[in-house]
Amino acid sequence: MASKLRQTGKIQIGENTRNWRRRLEDTYGFLELVRQSRSPDDLCDCFLAYAWRFGATNLLAGQIPPRGASRREQLSHVLLETWPKECSLRYFSSGYLYHDPTIRLVCRDSPPFLWKEASELCATDGLAGRVMMEAAEFRLRDGLTMALRTLEGKMVGFSIAGERLEVEPGHGQALQLIAAYALSHAIVLVDGERPRDHVHLSARQLDVLRWAAEGLTVDEIGERLTISSNTADSHLRAVRQRLGVTNTVHAVAEAFRLGLIS
């Protein structure tokens, strides 16, 4: 019996490893497709081709403008959009941006969240509830929003939505990675490549980053490279600082964009 259990465990571990490898190859395949996008519309199509599997039919991503910005200023901050036109027109014409519960959570630099998790904010702001109800009228009933940052540190809300959204376990980090990379590429498409000093990472920093790109924790990276978890974490912090980003997922995306890892 014990032998059968061990064998079953080995089979399960092997299957999990194969599934994880397939997800990783799939993720990097989409990163390459994003890299090849030549316009914001192409980029939107590419990203939704990936997010469609979770039920997403539309996306909206843009920098958060200062409070009191005019409708034109708000629209100038949009980087990627496939929102229904009437929904978008109503949203920006009615000043919903500053009542949108998802934007309020983005401004708090919240981790990725489903729209249903923002429902508590609707209880304290009548317009917040209206924002969500009107989105549902346009078949944007369920959504997920990620708070990202530009290299200059400006907050960006990146939302995907549809009638029903369901992100399967194990796919969340891949979705964040592709979104962060899509954001960086969108900025390049809109504003052009911005001059920056050449980024040099040491061989050890690249090793740590490559393992982080494969989803390993600092403890697992430390074990794989026979270094302490504190040392692995220190290397990742140095990488984030040199790349000018605030989290590891964005560091992986930016390193991929710059050709530091592949």
Contact 170, 20 (CB under 8 A): yes
Series of mean pLDDT values for 10-residue runs along the chain (262 residues):
46 47 76 90 94 95 92 93 95 91 92 88 81 94 93 91 89 88 89 70 91 86 91 92 86 85 78
Determine if the pTM surpasses 0.85.
no
Q: What is the CA radius of gyration of the chain?
A: 20
Whole-angstrom distance, CA of residue 70 vs CA of residue 74: 6
Q: Which residues of 136-155 are buried (b: 16+ CB within 10 A; e: fewer)?
A: eebebbbbbbbbbbbeeeee
Q: Give the per-residue pLDDT at 192.
A: 74
Burial (CB count <10 Å: 0-12, 13-18, 19+), residue 246: middle
Residue 214: is it exposed, middle or buried by C-beta count within 10 angstroms (0-12/13-18/19+)?
A: middle
Tell me what pLDDT residue 236 has: 92
Domains in the chain (CATH in brackets) are: 21-191 (3.30.450.80), 203-257 (1.10.10.10)
What are the φ and ψ backbone dihedral angles of 63, each rounded to 5 degrees? Answer: -70, 150
E strands, the chain, are: 58-63, 78-81, 113-114, 142-149, 155-162
